[in-house]
Amino acid sequence: MLSDRQTQILESAKRSGRVSVEELAARYDVSVQTIRKDLNDLCDQRLLARVHGGAVLSSGVENVGYDARRTIAADEKGAIGRAVADLVPDRASLFVNIGTTTEAVARALLRHAGLMVITNNINVATVMRPYPEIEVVIAGGVVRRSDGGIVGEAAVDFIRQFRVDFAVIGVSAIDPDGSLLDFDYREVRVAQAIISNARHVILAADSSKFERSAPVRIGHLDQVHTFVTDVAPDGIRQICQEREVRLIEAGRRDPAKADAAA
């Protein structure tokens, strides 16, 4: 049984994906120790998972709402988006799939010239459509109300018509063994088709994805050529090194640059 406050905390986590001890203590006018006990109780029931300073939604079958996901690690996603955009030259063709991180990539690509972007993400198409230097091709299929993603076999068949220079993909979760995971089997099928039909695959995912779980397997890190994140755990760094996956940590300062600035 959950107390009224714990129920409200859980609902807040479902809306935003993450809750903070300090913010909750201020909201309910209780001590941080009281909030930590609430979070521990929710984690004991596997409803939340503790992270530094708070907790995240631990559900392995239900994703956080799209608008809420935009606010999670927004600065990190912006940095990842810019790092990915630096890898894509002008006049390239690329896939961009569903996700708030891939949407950040799309925004960072707006100054590129001569791009052809094939996407199953209505949000990406909306961001890029007004720019005359970018040709946007959108997949057909079932539009998912929750996030504007286009999924299903029609989208898979559409993607298979192309062979592009780059694929930019996002995922819902990354397991410690390097498995790439998502919530919707239909979206996974589209992501797998995108991976199979690109010459260079770029995975764009912020570090919150290491704290989450999802039930459907897209593939493994060794199927991508470049992984762009903010900060990666040591285990993921080792997998990238062993599998020859280029790892770019957009949130980690370059010591050489730091020394030069000093």
Residue 227 and residue 244 in contact, taking contact as beta carbons nearer than 8 Å: no
pTM, two decimal places: 0.77
pLDDT at 208: 83
The answer to whether 88 touches 116, Cβ cutoff 8 Å, is no
Alpha-carbon dihedral sign for residues 238, 239, 243, 245? negative
Whether the Cβ atoms of residue 184 and residue 151 lie closer than 8 Å to each other: yes
Full DSSP string of 206-241 = -GGGGG---SEEEEEGGG-SEEEES---HHHHHHHH
pLDDT of residue 86: 97
Residue 25: per-residue pLDDT:
95
HSE, side-chain direction, 13 A CA sphere, residue 194: 32
- Contact of 106 with 96, CB cutoff 8 Å: yes
User: For the chain, how are helix, strand and coil distributed in percent, rounded to 5?
Assistant: 45, 25, 35
Q: What pLDDT is recorded for position 144? A: 85
For residue 72, the model assigns a pLDDT of 67
DSSP H or E stretch at residue 165: strand 164-169
- CA gap 255, 235 in Å, rounded: 21
CATH of domain 68-249: 3.40.50.1360
In this predicted structure, what is the pLDDT of residue 153? 93
Task: Name the strands in the sheet holding 54-57, side by side, starting at the edge strand that comes first in the sequence.
Answer: 18-20, 54-57, 48-51
CB 90 within 8 A of CB 115: yes
Domain ranges of the chain: 4-58, 68-249
Give CA–CA dist 105/54, Å, rounded.
28
Torsion over CA: 29, 32, 37, 38 (sign): positive
Do the beta carbons of residue 200 and residue 234 sit within 8 Å?
Answer: no
Q: Which pLDDT belongs to residue 125? A: 95
d(CA 184, CA 182): 6
Closest listed residue to residue 52, CA positions, set 249, 233, 211: 211
pLDDT of residue 138: 95
pLDDT confidence of residue 192: 96
CATH for 4-58 (1.10.10.10, 3.50.50.60, 1.20.120.1200, 3.20.20.140): 1.10.10.10
**C-alpha 40: how far from chain center:** 26
pLDDT tens digits for the chain (262 residues)? 789 999 999 888 877 778 899 999 999 999 999 999 999 998 887 778 787 888 887 655 445 555 666 666 788 999 999 999 999 999 999 999 988 899 999 999 999 999 999 999 999 999 999 999 999 999 998 898 878 889 999 999 999 999 999 999 999 999 999 999 998 899 899 999 999 999 999 999 999 889 788 889 999 999 999 999 999 999 999 999 999 999 999 986 554 444 444 3
